[in-house]
Amino acid sequence: MDTPIFKQLWQDKYQVVPENLKKLKKLNAVATGFNTNIDAICRLTGEKLKMLIEQEGLSLAELQNIERKQIVDETDFLKGVFKTFTLGIAEEWICENQDVYAWIEKNIGYEYLQMGGQGGIIANVLSSVGIKKVIAHTNSLPKLQAETFAKNDNLISFDENGKPKPAYLINRQNDVPLIHFIIEFRRGDTMELEGKLFKCPRSNRFIATYDPLNLKLVLNEHFMKALRHEPLDFVILSGFHALQAKNDGLNLIDQAAARIKEWKDMMPQTLFHLEIASTQDLAIRQAIVQKLVPLVDSIGINERETMDVLEVINQKALAKYCNEQTTAENLLKGISKIKEITNVKRIQLHMFGLYMTLKDKDFALSLDDNLKGMLTASVVAAAKAKAGTTDEKSIQTITYDVSDVGLIELESLSIALGQPSLALTGIGRYRTWDLIVTPTILIENPVTLVGMGDTISALSLVSAK
């Protein structure tokens, strides 16, 4: 296909975004839960990483010998960072050792603080695009946390007495700040170890999480009670990935499932969406898939998470195949198998340069509306990547420069499926389901990548209303 014409065709499709953003201001209310925390952002260079590795006396063989995806000591942290740096992938590992956390704080530090946790990040984005009311769950909301909320009066949470207020004005003084370290690295950065040169293939991040409240899924009862009386368009759920089976995580998921069922019964018209997120504990990952996914209407997932879910639904061969050849065609096979086994009505996949949605034909939101939602999410996510925030000004600065990577993947997928119209319209079919695919806008040298997948998933759904 003629690349300039193909690219222009998709850039023309993006012209619906400004009008679609206006529609968001008509939505009454969206609730986001459960994880909100503070992210400490640190940009780590290959040179600094090498220095830390040498400081700890780790050999290349030791670095590459990953026995667990959990931070029990300092070497685990360095193994995780080295892995994600050299592969250009994103992962989140849990740290329960306060001494190791103190070591990270001392040796890594941070450049600035920002909103963290899918629930908090999504709340900020949704409030900034003008939804009338966004209700954010917070299990800790001291002043330091409140300062990371967007200064929007439509974004509310609850003070220590259960009174709803703009979240940025609340100071629950007795709450402990929950700080996560986000280690970001840049595409093209290099480091040399034992005579071998390692080059980071893609800008991404490694997250080291020490968070006693979110690790125990502590729920704010003022938030839970308020939702019983609030007419909501959407409920966006996240935060289960931080649980651990050894710390009563399976029981906590059972308890959360019961609360979600209660909400669903009271709000039959409300659409529920779950962010899968990177879940290292296999038992927790399986419980999320078996007990939570069937309760919601939609899930959000990326390439790595697709493979992770396939592993716990007895599709290890397909997971391995997707890992070896991470193409749109193979990932579509992956999410279709997840959809078949879980029976979830809608799956939103965000991969590098391309978004794919697979949905039931009778899903509440139409094909065209899903397409518009995905295009809108791409623009807002690009604004967040470029400026580090989302508001009308940052969104307006985005030019609709559709990624070549996404266009190539889209064309390859349409050829593989024998559906040439898919490349031209973004709308097709797969088995018995509707398929919507959009090439995205990519930002060179992004200010931040934290929360990008969450922004994409939530807005793709919410802006399709």
pLDDT in tens, 29-73: 999 999 999 999 999 999 999 999 999 999 999 999 999 989 999
The CATH number assigned to the domain holding 54 equals 3.30.1110.20
Residues 357 and 392 in one domain: yes
Residue 440: is its pLDDT beyond 80? yes
What is the rounded average pLDDT of the residues 160-189? Answer: 94
Structure tokens at 384: 């967040």
Residues 432 and 343 in one domain: yes
> Residues 382-418: pLDDT tens digits?
999 998 888 888 999 999 999 999 999 999 999 999 9
Q: What percent of the chain has pLDDT over 70?
A: 100
Identify the bridge partners of residue 350 per DSSP, sorted by sequence position: 302, 355
**pLDDT computed for residue 451 by the predictor:** 83
Whether the Cβ atoms of residue 441 and residue 7 lie closer than 8 Å to each other: no
295's CB contacts (< 8 A; 6+ apart) are 257, 260, 261, 264, 272
Residue 20: is its pLDDT beyond 80? yes
**pLDDT computed for residue 446 by the predictor:** 86
> Residues 142-153: pLDDT tens digits?
999 999 999 999
Rounded Cα–Cα distance for residues 239 and 218 (Å)? 11
The type of residue at 40 is A
**pLDDT computed for residue 413 by the predictor:** 98
- Count of domains observed in the chain: 2
Residues 101 and 227 in one domain: no
* 460 closest CA partner among 437, 444, 430: 437
191's CB contacts (< 8 A; 6+ apart) are 46, 47, 49, 50, 85, 197, 198
> Residues 287-314: pLDDT tens digits?
999 999 999 999 999 999 999 999 999 9
Residue listed under structure tokens 């390692």: 198
Residue 457: is its pLDDT beyond 90? yes
CB atoms within 10 A of CB 35: 30
- Band (445; pLDDT cuts 50, 70, 90): confident
Residues 328 and 222 in one domain: yes
Cα–Cα distances in angstroms (integers) from residue 431 to residues 291, 361, 428, in the given order:
25, 11, 10
Residues 224 and 309 in one domain: yes
Residue listed under structure tokens 């499926």: 417
pTM exceeding 0.85: yes
Residue 79: is its pLDDT beyond 90? yes
Pairing of β 427-430 and β 433-439: antiparallel
> Residues 126-147: pLDDT tens digits?
999 999 999 999 999 999 999 9
The CATH number assigned to the domain holding 407 equals 3.40.1190.20
Residues 242 and 94 in one domain: no
- Band (258; pLDDT cuts 50, 70, 90): very high
Residues 30 and 51 in one domain: no
70's CB contacts (< 8 A; 6+ apart) are 76, 93, 94, 95, 280
**pLDDT computed for residue 210 by the predictor:** 84
Residues 91 and 122 in one domain: no
The type of residue at 189 is D
Residues 201 and 226 in one domain: no
Residue 343's domain comprises 3-38+115-176+213-462
Residue listed under structure tokens 């600035």: 112
Residues 220 and 361 in one domain: yes
Structure tokens at 336: 């279709």
Q: Which helix (H) or strand (E) holds 164?
A: strand 164-166
What is the rounded average pLDDT of the residues 224-236? Answer: 92
**pLDDT computed for residue 280 by the predictor:** 86
Rounded Cα–Cα distance for residues 318 and 410 (Å)? 21
**pLDDT computed for residue 390 by the predictor:** 85
Residues 164 and 185 in one domain: no
> Residues 360-374: pLDDT tens digits?
999 999 999 999 999
How far is C-alpha 173 from the chain's CA centre? 29
Cα–Cα distances in angstroms (integers) from residue 294 to residues 4, 299, 406, in the given order:
42, 10, 30
* 272 closest CA partner among 287, 256, 285, 286: 256
Structure tokens at 204: 């991404």
Let me know the angle formed at the C-alpha of 298 by 441 and 339, rounded to the nearest 5 degrees: 100
- Band (242; pLDDT cuts 50, 70, 90): confident
- Band (267; pLDDT cuts 50, 70, 90): very high
Cα–Cα distances in angstroms (integers) from residue 155 to residues 82, 168, 225, in the given order:
38, 8, 17
Whether the Cβ atoms of residue 262 and residue 272 lie closer than 8 Å to each other: no
- Band (208; pLDDT cuts 50, 70, 90): very high
3-class secondary structure, 330: helix
Backbone angles phi, psi at 428, to 5 degrees: -155, -150
**pLDDT computed for residue 250 by the predictor:** 97
Residues 201 and 302 in one domain: no
What is the rounded average pLDDT of the residues 185-204? Answer: 95
- Band (220; pLDDT cuts 50, 70, 90): very high
DSSP 363-401: -SS-HHHHHHHHHHHHHHHHHHHHHSS-SHHHHHT----
Mean pLDDT of the chain: 94
**pLDDT computed for residue 149 by the predictor:** 97
Rounded Cα–Cα distance for residues 402 and 107 (Å)? 39
Residue 215: is its pLDDT beyond 90? no
